[in-house]
Amino acid sequence: MPLALAIVSDRTFTPGDDATESPEQVAFRASARSFLSAHAEPRAEVDPWQISGFPDDDEARAYFEHGRAWQRTLATHGWAGLTWPTEYAGGDHPAWAERIFSEESSAYGSGPGFIGATIAMLGPTLLAHATHEVKARHLPSLLNGEVAWCQLFSEPGAGSDLAGLATRAVLDGDEWVVDGQKVWNSCAQFADWGFLLARTDPDVPKHQGITFLLVDMTSPGIEVRPLIQANGSAHFSEVFLSGVRIPADQVVGEVHGGWGAARTVLANEAAFIGRGGGAPTSDRLRDLAALHGGLEDPRVRQRLATIISREKLQALMGQRIQSAVRNGHKPPFDPALTKVMAAGTRVLTGNLAAELAGPAALVGNDPIGNWVRAEVVNRFSISIGGGTTEVQKNNLAERSLGLPREPGIDRDTAWKDVPRS
């Protein structure tokens, strides 16, 4: 049997069938299955947010809180922060625990939603860079969903070139006073706290004068303005900070040395996006191919096999990156590679779904049509979010392949002396 057909037709295989698992892993998997069967929701045909983005703010809030409720359930029953230290409300399990739980969770519809993304980005960053006091204060409430966070990184003039950010923070006694603007902030309107980058020393090159700060989103001087998208939803916001005061002890890493913590966030963001979550998209794509007779076509089988292989590889790469970061090690490869690969897989999936289902599926209101439409509409989304594919490829060329950097006058010039339009 050709390899492509063998992969596509193997409907009964699950990671839990692997006879190489240790008794400890087998027992852990059985416990995960028991918990999920008792508490998780059935898997939906398609995530409703991917279809509409929830133009109604009450619906968006309900979706956000639904994810928060599941995170609380995970924490209550000991399934959140599986590899985190017990000192900070984690489970202190080996890295394989998260892989197994993710595999078992893929059969269900429950998930933490956007709260899960911020936990994946901020949690490992605090573990790696924050003081014990900051960890003890923020990690337990982050993990149990009590406090929701948003990322305050991008600015109107600093997106792909994040280190060029202009938001300023000036130390006034025992407080930082922050002024500036952030943009493309997911779910900022629902967040309790934010993690932000601010320029604290304009007299050094752009990467050196940045500080990583934690801010209470109810602080005076913070204004969150929703950005209305073409479909009417407001997933993103712009955040204005005017004289916002942040206690000096809410710094992560060194003052003026926040770029290291920022890179940890970006590495975990890339890994999170790259490995995905929930049920593999290829499962639904395979069902769609079977429905339309595509499994009889060797070309379709080969394309399916490619997508399945890429998904599995992305998941393993993401797990290796996050495991390394959690343990204070350098990732075994550049996280940008996972992100670039995932963006390509998403395009391959959307293209094949559209070809298999045909034009009629794109306007239908049935479960299949909704899923196909979501895949087609969103196939380029992660080519932009979390760093564009073009920028990620530049990073890979420079950092991994050792190719010459693109010329730029701002790399070794004090930030304040760099010309700006």
The catalytic residue positions are 269
Between CA 338 and CA 394 the distance in angstroms is 14
Residues with Cβ within 8 Å of residue 344, at least 6 apart in sequence: 310, 389
Q: What share of the chain is helix, strand, coil (3-state, %, to 5)?
A: 50, 15, 35
Please state, in angstroms and as integers, the Cα–Cα distance from residue 234 to each residue in 47, 58, 127, following that order.
Answer: 17, 11, 31
Q: Are 149 and 126 in contact (CB under 8 A)?
A: no
> Checking DSSP bridges between strand 251-252 and strand 193-199, what pairing results, if any?
unpaired
- The label of the residue with tokens 């993103």 reads 236
Please tell me the distance from the alpha carbon of residue 263 to that of residue 259, in angstroms, as a whole number. Answer: 6
Residue 257, beta-bridge partner list: 210
Q: Measuring CA to CA, how many Å separate 212 from each of 119, 168, 255?
A: 16, 12, 8
Q: Positive or negative CA dihedral for 163, 164, 167, 170?
A: positive
Contact 143, 90 (CB under 8 A): yes
Distance (Å, whole) CA 274 – CA 392: 12
Question: Encoding tokens for residue 66?
Answer: 């639904």
Per-residue b/e over 93-105, b at no fewer than 16 CB within 10 Å? bbebbbbbbbbbb
Angstrom distance (rounded) from CA 331 to CA 128: 13
